[in-house]
Amino acid sequence: MAKINFGGVEEEVVTRGEFPLEKAREVLKDEVVAVLGYGVQGPAQAMNMRDNGIKVIVGQRKGTANWDKAVADGWVPGETLFEVEEAAEKGTVIQYLLSDAGQRSQWPKLVEHLNEGDMLYFSHGFSVTFKDDTGVIPPPNVDVALVAPKGSGRSVRVNFLEGSGINASYAVHQDFTGRAAERTIALGIAIGAGYLFPTTFEKEVYSDLTGERGILMGALAGVMEAQYNELRKNGHSPSEAFNETVEELTQSLIRLVGQNGMDWMYANCSTTAQRGALDWKDKFRDATAPVFAALYESVKTGNEARITLEANSKADYREKLDKELAAIRDSEMWRAGAAVRSLRPENWKE
């Protein structure tokens, strides 16, 4: 492991330098990795491992859209594509990448196909951490670990193809074989992680649920709506309000933050922007701190997990989700966004 100083705190991380792909292939040479679920993370992780020379099979319910997607991606029924339970039986590493609600419902069937010495692999600590609600309690004769990419499945694939990778956390929850750590790290390298940092199942799910509900999605969308609505109330056009709220952030400023950090972005903006941002930053921090505290407590107590499982297990979940997403898509703000995106140079028509 490499020791890196993160803001004054030294952490150990795993990079491709000390654990190259060739080593990962050697560790996994006798493994059959069964990727169960071809929805969000499944396609990217499966295809990345396949491209890296790992023996991979996919488990997905036949007759579903995701089965058809797997076929379109080159997985061959009866050879590298199977029903979920058959794939689980054939695999020595079982990547359990169904949705959290799906993991709960399929667990009684899956557990019957775990053989001694197998590795049960997750990309989220949800099911194991909230076992009282999910019923997911792994048997003692298997390794249990996770590799959690810090990005969407689409980004995991796109970044892999571009050669950059997505950073990922990893954790070993149960080491039956004595090889769980090296198997886990090898899998992280094989799926294309930029670097791997250690965590626990509990810490992964707490940080992940907080991040998704917070700055990554929930808070970002909410703050954008608040600013857009305020500008519109004060007579600004939809185009102006959207450009000042979203377009400038996504097409310019956040890229500078990603490349060089917040201080660098501040230093490369106008002095007027610098002064105003510095004066208002703490106000926004202090205003939202109680919301983040309440959010983390809701995650830690399992309340968010119970809400998720209840909502996502209902028969009409997809129908209700489509309506909620349509409400966002059809709002003035995001209709304005669609118009703005259509005017980007790459979308110009001759």
Angle formed by the axes of helices 180-190 and 42-51, to 10°?
90
Catalytically annotated residues: 124
The Cα 114–Cα 97 span in angstroms is: 15
